[in-house]
Homo-oligomer: A and B are copies of this chain.
């Protein structure tokens, strides 16, 4: 499925700016507002920050994008995909998606808290292989 169809499926009109945003997100995986703005300026010299914000907000509303909050860092955005979690390098800030089976901690949390739980945000901090050595 290409980017055009993906945007259409989320009720988002297909503009060149949006296509490029999707493209950057595919390549980067995760990006914050400012870096996204910088990445777009070559291709769209007249692009406005307001447009970035409007697009990010619109795309998040349509669940096409997800916002990821990382301790002590700016929020980053990613294309919405099946639930997953994040590992981030404290040195170089590389962010990696990880698939984890969290049924174990969900069970613990439910029995301790008596909350029902339907969403989980997990961000693990450490050093990536490159920065370890």
Contact = CB atoms under 8 A, between A and B. Distances in A.
A71 B83 CA distance: 14
B115 A119 contact: no
Interface string A83-124: 001010110000010111110111011001111111111111
B129 A114 contact: yes
A55 interface: no
Contact of A115 (B116, B118, B128): B128
Could you say which interface size class chain A belongs to?
A: 35 or more
A80 to B, nearest CB: 13
A69 interface: yes
Nearest to A103: B104
A119 B124 contact: yes
A124 to B, nearest CB: 5
A115 B100 contact: no
A113 to B, nearest CB: 5
Contact of A104 (B105, B113, B114, B132): B105
Interface in A57-94: 67, 69-72, 85, 87, 89-90
Interface of A: 67, 69-72, 85, 87, 89-90, 96, 98-102, 104-106, 108-109, 112-129, 132
